[in-house]
Amino acid sequence: MPKSRVIFVCSGCGQESAKWQGKCPGCGDWNTLFEQTVAAVKSSSSRKIANNAPQPLPDIEITGNERIALTMGEVNRVLGGGLVPGSLSLVGGEPGIGKSTLLLQVAAQMAELAKSPVLYVSGEETRPQIKMRARRLGIEGDGLYLLNETDLDNIIAEMDKLSPSLVIIDSIQTVYAPDIEMAPGGVSQVRECAARLVTWAKSSQTPVLIAGHVTKDGAIAGPRLLEHIVDTVLYLEGEPFSSYRILRSIKNRYGSVNEVGIFEMKEDGLRQVENPSEVFLSRDRQNTVGSAVVPVLEGSRPLLVEIQALTNMTSFGQPRRTANGLDFGRLIIITAVLSRRAYLKLGTQDVIASATGGLHLDEPAADLATALAIASSYKNAPVDASLVAIGELGLSGEIRNVPQIERRLAEADRLGFKKAIIPANVRVKSPSPDFKLIPVRDIRQALRESLTPGIDGEAPASEETI
């Protein structure tokens, strides 16, 4: 009988230690080491990858398809073109966001395309419950096999017996290896189960998708090492009261990261949004105070996003700054630049800024549009509804260049916008003869070019005060 041993494992990064420490030696977090009892396991329990001998690169042949393209183009985009044989992908998201719905739809599509079995393993729902969900989604399920099992050894045995074209595990926190003396969902269990699934996927050249729960902070539950084990990490995001869902890639060994797919949750499941920019724009933007539009890049896709802002006299001594979908630190910088360089008296104003549609913007290209929305609300002067703003805002008030402006302008022209404020040091051509480019050097010039007379008859501030 193998002897058990006591170790201390970090709940954040999975770092193991022989004794307890207040600070994790791996990630540096405090009070994250927890005592665990594990039994020594033999290495024979893990499967070895076939053809493990060294081989010259020119002699290596790629057998089969490099990627398996699904009928859901948004999923293919996020994956980098489709599923890669032998890959292990992790799909995370909050409870009820639609992970199981998305995975069941992917399984049904794969069974129809590959004309071979697809195995859906669930440790959370019974087979009749999954059948009820499939009926609601309109899935017939030909070639789709359901398995209720949490023992990893039994799961791998069924995978070997069925030889599926795709395996889905829902979820990794419910699966356990019987030779690990720890409850399912623990650090050692999640790490060992993921490692064995990776080995099986590589040896059989079968793509595997696993679902993962998230913590209160929005991170995948379990050790961060789990995200390093898998090949692709996808997050399914969405606002609690919105029907739209965003599938985002934050790690992809076979494609670009930060790609997004836009879906709408309906009664019959997740449906692709053909024109995502319309999701983030209001239908009628005429004479709207505190609103500006910016073309942003999510991976390789340009999207037009509306940024709204509201300023109001503070009721307390300290003015508040609130950001929703925007980086809070950048909002502080933009507010300070407007106060110091554009002479807007925001020191007594609460400033609230939001990116509509549930999208989270991190790139600096949204700085100028955010500044215009704040200034528009403060001066009660709408931004021209036919205008988009592109540019990073510097601390001295200058408008700086951002990458791939041509693609952003083309998307704005396609959706009917007629003007664009861009940095003055950029040399680009207009996407169409009717599209006007307005180069600006600083934030004061941008305000003069964009703000129109207010809806209450008040004109924008003069050049001396802007």
Measure the CA–CA gap between 409 and 386, rounded to whole angstroms.
13
- Exposure string of 423-440, with b = 16+ CB inside 10 Å and e = fewer, is bbebeeeebeeebeebbb
CB atoms within 10 A of CB 300: 12
Residue 88 phi/psi, 5-degree rounding, is -120, 120
Burial (CB count <10 Å: 0-12, 13-18, 19+), residue 234:
buried
Q: How many helices (H) and strands (E) in the chain?
A: 10, 21
Reduced to 3 states (helix: H, G, I; strand: E, B; else coil), residue 447 is helix
Measure the CA–CA gap between 11 and 57, rounded to whole angstroms.
39
Measure the CA–CA gap between 399 and 390, rounded to whole angstroms.
9
Helix, strand, coil % in the chain, rounded to nearest 5: 30, 30, 45
CA distances from 433 to 19, 405, 429, 440 (A): 70, 17, 10, 20
- Exposure string of 135-153, with b = 16+ CB inside 10 Å and e = fewer, is eebebebebbbbbebbebe
Measure the CA–CA gap between 141 and 110, rounded to whole angstroms.
10
Strands 88-93, 208-212: pairing kind: parallel
Binding residue ranges for ATP: 93-100
CB atoms within 10 A of CB 455: 12
Q: Where are the alpha helices (DSSP H) in 260-366?
A: 328-341
Radius of gyration of the chain (CA): 26
> Angle at which helices 367-379 and 328-341 pack, to 10 degrees?
60
Binding residue ranges: 93-100
Which H helix or E strand runs over 107? helix 99-114
Token digits of residue 48? 């070895």
Reduced to 3 states (helix: H, G, I; strand: E, B; else coil), residue 252 is strand
Measure the CA–CA gap between 323 and 167, rounded to whole angstroms.
40
Ramachandran area for residue 304 (φ above 0: left; ψ -120 to 50: alpha; else beta):
beta
